Amino acid sequence: MGGERSLRDLEAIKEKKLTQTSKKAHLETRGKIITFICISIMVIAAASILFFVISKGIATFTVNKVSFVDFITGTDWNPSQKDASGNPLVGALPMIIGSFAVTLFAACIAGPLAIGAAIFMVEISPKFGKKVLQPVMELLVGIPSVVYGFIGLSVVVPFIRDHISGSGFGIAAATVVLTVMILPTVTSLSVDAIKSVPRHYREASLALGATRFQTIWKVVLRSSRSGILTAIVFGMARAFGEALAVQMVIGNSAVIPTSLFEPASTLTSILTMGMGNTVMGTLDNNILWSLAMVLLAMSLFFIIVIRFIGRRRKVK
């Protein structure tokens, strides 16, 4: 009797384990299916956006027969008018130059400031940085773009107009606004890059007699160089695609600027102003989609650069 009971108990335990295993396998399968569906939705959405923007953007060159070279290198922007040869005035070079100008200037200013703030938060005063600077950075990230644009319109533009030169609108004002906007992002990513440097690197440098500044300059910054570059490029990508705040302070004049204090325009500012005032399928609308295609191409370029830097970092 005792042997039969023990066999029954063993069989019951085996059945229970098999039931639990089947339930776990069922849950795992269901989780994989849900994950696959979510990933598929994301891939389909991204591919649909790419297809839609590209198909609309190339309509300018396939349907309206606009020269791509003239579009990229032209300096006159007035799609509703034509030149002496009968070609529409759709030169996007002023907007491309304006976009690159504000992006590069903002990155040149925000980069050193962000690296300095990150070094202070991680290497010099971690407690103060965590208690004070980190909440400030999070607050700056949460401020909407329209608020930055309104502050730039109310403070930066009048200051430039009254104390420097011009009407106040231009690349200089847009650079100041974009610098403040991308500074928290670049700083946060730079902090993560510096924190990722192993502690024994610092200890070895200090043990060899190096000062704290020498350790930061020669060891920490060099070891985190790839991560800091990624942070700067990521900030540039955000600056390049910013629309509303830039539109409010740059002046929106589709000409090649000869000064930082003259009105200019960017790809995003022309897009936001013109997209609601055109009819779908017309040249005026298609050329705006072509600008969006250029903007998308530059965003993809920044993403490729970020991934390339990240791969080099992993290899090292």
pLDDT tens string 47-81: 998 898 898 889 888 888 888 888 888 888 888 88
Task: Categorize the per-residue pLDDT at 37 as very low, low, confident or very high, splitting at 50, 70 and 90.
Answer: very high
The ranges assigned to domains in the chain are: 2-63, 89-312
Q: Which of the pair, 26 or 113, is modelled with greater confidence?
A: 113
pLDDT-based confidence at 7, cuts 50/70/90? Answer: low
89-312 domain in CATH 3.60.20.10?
no
**Contact present, 220 and 197 (Cβ < 8 Å):** yes
Q: Among residues 240, 209, 10, which one has the least CA distance to residue 104?
A: 240
Q: What DSSP designation does 251 have? A: B
Contact residues for 82 (Cβ-Cβ < 8 A; gap 6+) = 88, 89
Q: In whole angstroms, what is the distance from residue 187 CA to residue 195 CA?
A: 12
Predicted confidence band of residue 14 (pLDDT cuts 50, 70, 90): low
Q: How far apart are CA 245 and CA 149, in angstroms?
A: 4
Q: So what's the pLDDT on residue 178? A: 92
pLDDT of residue 41: 94
Q: How far is CA 43 from the centre of its chain?
A: 19
For the residues 262-286, what does the mean pLDDT come to? Answer: 84
